[in-house]
Amino acid sequence: QMQLQESGPGLVKPSQTLSLTCNVSSGSISNGFYYWSWMRQPAGKGLEWIGRIYVRGGTNYNPSLESRVTMSLDMAKNQFSLKLSSVTAADTAIYYCARGSYIIRGVTPLNWFDPWGQGTLVTVSS
Partner 1 sequence: DIVMTQSPDSLAVSLGERATINCKSSQSVSYSGDNRNYLAWYQHEPGHPPRLLMTWASTRESGVSDRFSGSGSGTDFTLTINSLQAEDVAVYYCQQYYDSPFTFGQGTKLEIK
Sole binder of partner 1 in the list 2, 8, 42, 48 (CB under 8 A): 48
Sole binder of partner 1 in the list 79, 93, 117, 124 (CB under 8 A): 117
Is residue 74 a contact point for partner 1 (CB under 8 A)? no
What's the gap between Cα 25 and its chain centre? 16
Instruction: Output the smallest distance, CB 19 to partner 1, in A.
Output: 21
Q: How many residues does the chain have?
A: 126
Instruction: Output the smallest distance, CB 87 to partner 1, in A.
Output: 20
Q: Cis ω on the peptide bond leading into residue 9 (within 30° of 0)? A: no
Return the residues of window 83-102 that contact partner 1 according to CB under 8 A. Answer: 96, 98
Instruction: Spell out the residues 6+ positions from residue 82 whose beta carbon is closer than 8 angstroms to its own.
Output: 18, 19, 20, 21, 22, 38, 50, 51, 69, 70, 71, 95, 97
Which chain residues interact with partner 1 by CB under 8 A? 39, 45-49, 60, 62-64, 96, 98, 103, 105, 108, 110-119
